[in-house]
Amino acid sequence: MTKDQAKAKIEILSKQLDEHNYRYYVLAQPTISDYDFDMLLEELIKLEKEYPEFLKPDSPSQRVGGQVTKEFKTVKHKYPMMSLGNTYSEEELRDFDDRIKKGIAEKFEYVCELKFDGVAIGLTYKDGHLVQAITRGDGEQGDDVTTNVKTIRSIPLSLRGTHYPKEFEIRGEIYMPLKEFESINKEREELGDALLANPRNAAAGTLKMQDSTVVAGRKLDCFLYYLLGEKLPHQSHYENLLEAKTWGFRVSEHMARCADIDAVLKYIAHWDNERHKLEFDIDGVVIKVNSQEQQRVLGFTAKSPRWAISYKFKAERVSTILESISYQVGRTGAITPVANLKPVLLAGTTVKRASLHNADIIEKLDVRVGDTVYVEKGGEIIPKIIGVDVSKRAAHTHKTKYITKCPECDTPLIRGEEEANHYCPNENGCPPQIKGKMEHFVSRKAMNIDSLGGETIGQLFDSGLVKNIADLYDLKKEDLLPLERMAEKSATNLIAGIEESKQVPFNRVLYALGLRHVGETTAKKLAYYFKNIDALMKANVEQLLEVGDIGEVIAKSIVAHFRDKKNIEIIERLKNKGLKFELSEEQLAATSDKLKDLTFVISGVFSKFSRDDLKKLIEQNGGKNVGSVSGKTSYLLAGENMGPEKLKKAEKLGVKIISENDFVKMIG
């Protein structure tokens, strides 16, 4: 490509991306998918890197931080904005209740809140003034929409009274009232414009508009439902929200305390019937443990709090024709059957495909090609088939036979006794698995080789340059230059990125290897427990089960991975290339075996460390954290305002009770 051609292409891509930004954020009428947008943006970024003289300050690429921001500044959340687990039945809610009872021995109560169907927002206040408003984004970072949020009249710019923390965050949901939504659509209809799909999409599109005057005219509203920060006024979620109400925040009057799960179910049943009388959309109910101390005891998974869950009301359902079934292969070899549907409008979007999950679901539904099927959006996000209209089934149809061989490499599929999915075991020879593993390997939370995207990985694999992740470290610049759209500078950056990745710490390298069932958090625990890859590779199932939160399925998966000679060969090659397969001296300095074979229960509030810090110190020194006191507990680590039931049980069982200072002395 000549310089003139590059300049022309950059101008074309910039205009296209600006147009798509406008349609998505201002008109709320996207004409391409997020994936297609990202591909155009990736192409622009590559060209601008090769020809920096044509990079303009207002280029769409300049809206890219850690994520594609397009219009708004990306800001890291002070407290991660985690998602909630979803439930859809009374049985699942009672299972949640049972988990809470196992996690905390003391009496507890729930707070129930309506699940508003809008856009999650985090508002930061300092000295009583609104200073920042951030959308949820990916949970780790979101978009700064402060200017537009200031137009929402129910959000106070300055707080009432004086009894609020010096700095805090309050979270809530921005939504479009139904009357406003109907009014806008009536006007659009009169003008001959396309109607807005639903209030949630309308709120999201409005919040990202460039002109705050237009945002003000849209009359968005907001409910607040979660207070975060140091020195909050109360130790209960419910009382904190009532206090926030006195500061000028709009807190829903429909929030309620519930003594037990039966009261929760009554609240849900009431609002399932009454929700259509509200002036705004809700799609369920959120259930939270009220006590903040009990919330801290229950803690978090990698993705969501253990002390809260959402109950989703029955989703919108439509019927359509199942035209065919195809099968996708994931990076771990998991096979996912996909229903290809006659296009149908569902919850504001056109649905062409839906998940069939696994062979058991296909068998249970007895779904067949040509059937009229009922489709819902699971959690209103992922379409799924939930039933078949057998009365419309044509004569002489055949039962669906689940595939027995991989659709990509023809390898016979396997299925573990305790697993729902079939798997292709050819992890080192199945093309989508190899490409998927490489994409995972180079991802931001793994090796973070940002100059190596999915398209380039496909080129490298298809050209025969790489067949596994270790081959990436054998690449030379001259190997890359013949590839399409790979210029000198791009090749240099890619090689530099691969070389730089050798500094990534062991826990992230372990995560990057892509072992089945081993996520980011689990990889970190394994790394700190075993300290190097050799010790981990020698571990048997029993030894792995000693690691906190490692169950039998994960343990067996790890053992199986390290029994495969090809996987061992790849690790040895990566070792020889200089990747880190043991904790660094700095990381090791913070670890020891001083607490080996000891189990701890933590309760109360501490002055030197947070509860999470204490748990981390226990794990780094070879100990194990457990949630409740039993005869096998070694120590109860007690802080101020600890749970009386835990104390009583520890005294009854003769469990030794230690203070924060005692613990510090134990680990030196």
CB 197 within 8 A of CB 29: no
Q: Is 506-589 a CATH 1.10.150.20 domain?
A: yes
Q: Taking phi first (over 0 means left), then psi (-120 to 50 degrees means alpha), and beta for anything else, what does residue 326 get?
A: beta
Please give the full DSSP string across 345-390, using - where no structure is assigned: EETTEEEEEEE--SHHHHHHHT--TT-EEEEEEETTTEEEEEEE-G
CATH class of 86-312: alpha beta
Read off the tokens for 362: 């296909």
Q: 345-359 pLDDT, tens per residue?
A: 885 578 899 888 889
CA nearest neighbour of 173 among 66, 234, 255: 255
Which tokens sit at 74? 């990306």
Find where tokens 């849900």 sit.
268
pLDDT-derived band of residue 285, with 50, 70 and 90 as boundaries? very high
pLDDT of residue 454: 84
Q: Where are the domains of the chain?
A: 3-71, 86-312, 316-426, 431-503, 506-589, 599-667
- In angstroms, the Cα distances linking 522 to 213, 330, 622, 659 are 47, 20, 15, 29
Q: What's the rounded mean pLDDT across residues 456-473?
A: 93
Is-contact 151 216, C-beta < 8 A?
yes
Strand arrangement, sheet containing 167-175: 129-135, 119-126, 167-175, 221-228
The 3 state secondary structure assigned to 137-201 is: CCCCEEEECHHHHCCCCCCCCECCCCCCCCEEEEEEEEECCHHHHHHHHHHHHHHCCCCCCCHHH
| Residue 188 pLDDT greater than 80, yes or no | no
Residue 290, CA distances (Å) to 226, 237, 295, 469 in order: 11, 5, 8, 47
Name the region of 561 (left: φ>0; alpha: ψ -120 to 50; beta: rest). alpha
CATH number among 3.40.718.10, 2.40.50.1070, 1.10.150.20, 3.40.190.10, domain 431-503: 1.10.150.20
pLDDT in tens, 390-399: 999 998 889 9
Q: What are the angstrom distances between the C-alpha of 104 and each of 236, 239, 294?
A: 16, 21, 7
Query: Which of the pair, 643 or 479, is modelled with greater confidence?
Result: 479
pLDDT of residue 366: 94
At 64, the pLDDT band (50, 70, 90 cuts) reads: very low
Q: How confident is the model over 227-272, as pLDDT tens digits? A: 999 889 999 999 999 999 889 898 999 999 999 999 999 999 999 8
Q: pLDDT (tens digit, 9 = 90+) per residue, 468-520?
A: 999 999 999 999 998 888 888 889 999 999 999 999 999 999 999 989 888 88
Q: Tens digits of per-residue pLDDT, 7-44?
A: 898 888 888 876 775 465 334 466 777 667 667 877 88
CB atoms inside a 10 Å sphere around CB 137: 20
CA dist 484 → 50, 455, 490 (Å): 14, 11, 11
Dihedral sign of CA atoms 456, 461, 467, 468 in order: positive
The Cα 282–Cα 348 span in angstroms is 16
- Cβ atoms of 307 and 289 within 8 Å: the answer is yes
Asked whether 388 and 375 are in contact (CB, 8 A), the reply is: no
What was the pLDDT predicted at 191? 47
Tokens 């300095």 label which residue?
Answer: 589
The architecture in CATH of the region 316-426 reads Beta Barrel (2.40)
Q: Are 185 and 232 in contact (CB under 8 A)?
A: no
For residue 260, what pLDDT is reported? 96
Contact 173, 281 (CB under 8 A): no
- Ranges of beta strands (E only) in 96-146 are 110-116, 119-126, 129-135, 141-143
Active site residue: 46, 115, 219, 531, which one? 115
- Say yes or no to pLDDT of 627 above 80: no
pLDDT bin (cut points 50, 70, 90) of residue 59 is: low
298 pLDDT above the threshold of 60: yes
What is the distance between the alpha carbons of residues 64 and 17, in angstroms, rounded to a whole number? 13
Residue 163's CB is within 10 A of a number of other CB atoms, namely: 10
Beta-carbon-side half-sphere exposure of residue 157 (alpha carbons within 13 Å):
8
- Mean pLDDT (the chain) is 86
- pLDDT for 310 equals 95
Concatenate the DSSP letters of all residues of 387-420 into one string: EE-GGGPPTT--PPPPPSB-TTT-PBPB--TT-S
Task: Look at residues 434, 419, 402, 415 and name the one whose alpha carbon lies nearest to residue 329.
Answer: 434
Buried residues in 245-264 as b, exposed as e (16+ CB within 10 A): bebbbbbbebbbebeebeeb
- State yes or no: is 656 an active-site residue: no
Indicate the CATH number of 599-667 among 3.20.20.450, 3.10.180.10, 3.40.50.10190, 3.40.50.2300.
3.40.50.10190
For residue 143, give every residue at least 6 positions away whose Cβ sits within 8 Å of its Cβ, in sequence order, or none: 69, 71, 72, 73, 74, 75, 134, 135, 137, 208
Q: Is the pLDDT of residue 71 over 60?
A: no
Half-sphere exposure of 588 (CA within 13 A, CB side): 9
Please check whether the two domains, 431-503 and 506-589, share a CATH topology: yes
pLDDT band at 118 (very low <50, low <70, confident <90, very high): very high
pLDDT band at 417 (very low <50, low <70, confident <90, very high): confident
Quote the tokens at residue 205. Answer: 């599109």
Q: Which CATH superfamily is domain 3-71 in?
A: Helix hairpin bin (1.10.287.610)
More confident position, 56 or 4: 4
